[in-house]
Chains A and B, each alone.
Chain A
């Protein structure tokens, strides 16, 4: 196998794109891809072109009208994309898995969203700017959420409980699905399937069970709050798993804070008078400008996108 032709390379690139289009793109595959990309200066270009080829079959996205008043989730809003979050696989994810003292660490950069299959069959979906480490022992499966937010789909294994540590918070599951998010002053838990048991480290006597459809907050002072939530609210909160921000009557300032988790280019509400305006719609986490355009149209406020570091919403003149 000497010099490969451009046609051969296109075939390889198409194969990678088809593989990446699946839900179960693994670290090993990512490594293989990175090796391939480094092999020949034509490879990154062939991959980019094949990604663009596949993308050209997506229905066009209307740029002008965004149905913000109707809560209907229509075609383009729900479309899926491999590129959602973090941009092309090309640019992001040189991270891979890092072996540390018997455990495996995973980290994502800003805007990156990764699904990682764990060795026990569980799945971890890791949100933007997050870090976890995983240690699978005979007696227990231990995960530590160092930073950010993670959703776990836990494979059933009664012999080995799945225990997540997030700061002082502890969450124990056998076979369920839930998310954990580190926040100021504690950790938030959202249960999407089954039941989990939560407590604070050092306060093992006080344990609370949280079932599907509920959310809990384990504060650093060991207080535990629990409340039930609408199933749709939980789905919306976890829309990041498919690279989306799903708003339903959310305040502008909290929507802006949400987008800013995913992007280096920050949204700024320049007019405090509109911070409490309510918004609806589904947006891509990596498209703050698209969101700003929608705000511009719905609220009739000016936006300024001329700065590459910031997008100002509600800026008054220049």
Chain B
């Protein structure tokens, strides 16, 4: 399931986010995206889905409509636009080739990590060592390795959001740091 998401859904997350953002606040968008993935997580099989992008989008759209209906403060035109959106979502075939995640970009992301994190993620992902083996080789504890991997996962999570959200995250991180001191 995660492999299917990596390959077919993630490349479209940004555009779905961008579309949701026209109708909902940033917080709501984040919630809706997570809930949409939750619906995917509940699927027994993905074999029957031949257009994962459209499928993902339609779940997100339904959740948005549901949320707006509950809020009852949305002008009726908004619904019309939401209902009509489906067709725009269909990319042309020549578009689709570029919709895969570019592995070179992922490598660049790994290379952009701080030294130890970069080394550990490379050893885990490219060399295929286990966390324990990495800990042994680098002479650090397994929890240090685990923590670097945790940060590595976060780096990818962030990369998948749009740049605006990325800036926000950095800002709020800075803010929370300032508040602590």
Instruction: Name A residues whose Cβ lies closer than 8 Å to a Cβ of B.
Output: 5-7, 9-11, 13-15, 17-19, 21-24, 41-60, 78-80, 83, 87-88, 90-91, 308
A42-B38, A57-B106 known; A15 and B128 CB under 8 Å? no
Interface string of B162-181 (1 = CB under 8 A from A): 00000001001000000000
Among B3, B47, B109, B153, contact of A14 (Cβ-Cβ < 8 Å): B153
Give the residues in chain B near A55, CB-CB below 8 Å: 2-3, 6
Q: For the complex, is B40 an interface residue (Cβ under 8 Å from A)?
A: yes
Chain B's closest residue to A287 (CB) is B3
Is B157 in contact with A50, judged by CB distance below 8 angstroms? yes
A48 B2 Cβ-Cβ under 8 A: yes
Specify the chain B residue showing the minimal Cβ separation from A61: B3
Binds A, one of B27-35, B78-86, B87-95: B27-35
User: Is B40's CB under 8 angstroms from A45's CB?
Assistant: yes
A90 pairs with B153, CB closer than 8 A: no
22 contacts between A and B (CB under 8 A): A6-B34, A14-B153, A17-B153, A18-B147, A19-B146, A21-B149, A22-B130, A45-B33, A48-B1, A48-B37, A50-B157, A52-B3, A53-B10, A53-B153, A53-B157, A54-B152, A54-B156, A56-B10, A56-B101, A57-B121, A57-B125, A308-B47
The answer, yes or no, to whether B116 is at the interface (CB within 8 Å) is no
B42 on interface, CB distance cutoff 8 Å: yes
**By the criterion CB–CB under 8 Å, are B36 and A45 in contact?**
yes
**Partner of B152 from A9, A49, A57 at Cβ < 8 Å:** A57
- Kindly state the separation between the CA atoms of A15 and B132 in the bound complex, as whole angstroms: 17
Inter-subunit contact A7/B33 (CB<8 Å):
no
B5 adjacent to chain A (CB < 8 Å): yes
Question: Chain B: interface residue count, which band?
Answer: 35 or more
Residue among B5, B128, B153, B160 making CB contact with A48, cutoff 8 Å:
B5
Minimum CB distance partner of B29 in chain A: A6
Shortest A232–chain B CB gap in Å is 19
Inter-chain contacts of B160 with A (CB < 8 A): 49, 53
Chain A hits for B126, CB < 8 A: 59
A contact residues around B132 at 8 Å (CB): 22-24
Within 8 A of A (CB), among B1-45: 1-3, 5-6, 9-10, 27, 30-31, 33-42, 44-45
A59 contact set on B, CB distance < 8 A: 103, 125-126
Q: Which residues of B contact A9 (CB under 8 A)?
A: 34
In contact, A44 and B37 (Cβ under 8 angstroms): yes
Give the complex CA separation of A308 and B46 in angstroms.
Answer: 11
Evaluate contact between A80 and B128: CB separation under 8 angstroms.
Answer: yes
Contact B131 A23 (CB under 8 A): yes
Given the interface pairs A41-B38, A57-B156, the reply to whether A91 lies near B101 with Cβ below 8 Å is no
Query: Do A57 and B45 have beta carbons less than 8 Å apart?
Result: no
Residues from chain B with Cβ under 8 Å of A57 in the complex: 106, 109-110, 121, 125, 152, 156
Q: How far is the CB of B56 from chain A (nearest CB, A)?
A: 11
Q: Indicate if the CB atoms of B142 and A88 lie closer than 8 Å.
A: no
Q: How far is the CA of A43 from the CA of B9 in the complex (A)?
A: 18
Q: Bound state CA distance, A13 and B106, in angstroms?
A: 20
Q: Is A14 a contact of B38 with CB atoms below 8 Å? A: no
A255 to chain B: closest CB distance in Å?
22
Please give me the 10 A-B residue pairs with the lowest Cβ-Cβ distance, nearest first: A45-B37, A6-B30, A45-B38, A18-B150, A42-B34, A53-B156, A51-B2, A52-B5, A44-B41, A14-B153
Since A54-B149, A57-B109 are in contact, a sample of 6 more A-B pairs with Cβ atoms closer than 8 Å, ordered by chain A residue number, is A48-B37, A49-B33, A49-B37, A52-B9, A56-B101, A78-B128
- Establish whether residues B31 and A42, one from each chain, have CB atoms under 8 Å apart when the complex forms: yes
Which of A13, A21, A49 is within 8 Å of B124, CB to CB?
Answer: A21
CB B55 to nearest CB in A, in angstroms, measures 14
Residue of A7, A18, A308 near B169 (CB, 8 A) is A7
A45 vs B30: C-alpha distance in the bound complex, in angstroms?
11
Q: Does B154 contact A (CB under 8 A)?
A: yes
> What separation, in Å, do the CA atoms of A56 and B152 have in the docked complex?
11
Chain B, residues 98-119, CB within 8 Å of chain A (1/0): the string is: 0001010010011000000000
Given A6-B27, A6-B31, A7-B30, CB of A14 within 8 Å of CB of B157: yes
- The answer to whether residues A42 and B154 also contact, given A5-B27, A23-B130 and a CB cut-off of 8 A, is no
Closest beta carbon of chain A to B134's beta carbon, Å? 10
Say whether B35 contacts A42, CB under 8 Å: yes
Please tell me if the beta carbons of A45 and B34 are within 8 angstroms of each other in the complex.
yes
Q: Are B154 and A83 in contact (CB under 8 A)?
A: no
Does B125 contact A48, Cβ atoms closer than 8 Å?
no
Q: How far is the CA of A60 from the CA of B2 in the complex (A)?
A: 14
Tell me the smallest distance from the CB of B93 to a CB of chain A, in Å.
18
